[in-house]
Amino acid sequence: MDQNKLDISSRVAAFATKYIKYIVLGAIIGVAVPLLLNFQQYRAEQKNISASDLYYELINLANTSEETHELAQEIFENHEGSVYETLVKFILSKKEFENKNYDLSKKYLEDIIKSNNNEAYVSLAYIKISLIHIENKDYDEALLFLDKVKTKKSFQHVLSEIKGDIYNFKGDKNKSLLHYNEALEASAIDNENLLMKRNSVKD
């Protein structure tokens, strides 16, 4: 072996000896980072599956009221901030609304509004709060909540029909007719019930 090759080999060996810990550390990081990312992704997927299973159990099984709330509480505690938490609050709100527990129903919806950045969910919560105010005959308050809906185009048919109902309850048939007509124009399907409402306020 000539002297140049020996010198190069010596320099490489000296470099490797001096920087071996950095070389090993770099190799470890190169392997560990992808493994850690994959593990975190696996953990997230497993957590999502767990939440999905609980949600499926909550909506598909004939649970007692106590069992429903136990399942909901488990989702709230272990899957906070997930879409399932929001969906469960909508379900609980609906159940309380059907049982005429309007204050509790409204509380679940207010929680969704406070903790959610999804405009569609927040808009839907505003609409449902409006329906609670209609049940309590607070018609002006119901209109205020409908005005808070940001995604009006997506909910145009629903918003117009509810406003038609409100003005009908308030005895203003002209405004009621106006909003029922708007709802019919925005509706993608023939709505017999809406047609009946519209015809009922026609002069």
Instruction: Report the alpha-carbon distance of residue 121 to residue 119 in Å, rounded.
Output: 6
Res. 154 pLDDT band, cuts 50 70 90: confident
Q: Which residue has the higher pLDDT, 84 or 9?
A: 84
Q: Which residue has the higher pLDDT, 200 or 17?
A: 200
SS3 (DSSP) at 86? helix
Residue 137 gets the label, from left (phi > 0), alpha (psi -120 to 50) or beta, of: left
* Share above pLDDT 70 across residues of the chain, in percent, rounded to a whole number: 60
Summarize pLDDT for 71-122 with one digit per residue, the tens.
667 776 766 677 778 888 888 888 889 889 999 999 999 998 998 778 888 8
Summarize pLDDT for 28-45 with one digit per residue, the tens.
455 444 444 443 443 444
Q: Using alpha carbons only, what angle is made at residue 118 by residues 117 and 119, rounded to the nearest 5 degrees?
A: 105
Q: Which residue has the tokens 């950045």?
A: 117
Tell me if 96 sits within 8 A of 110, measured CB to CB: no
- Mean pLDDT along residues 21-28: 50
Res. 163 pLDDT band, cuts 50 70 90: very high
Summarize pLDDT for 39-65 with one digit per residue, the tens.
344 344 444 444 444 444 545 544 556
Instruction: List the chain domain ranges.
Output: 1-80
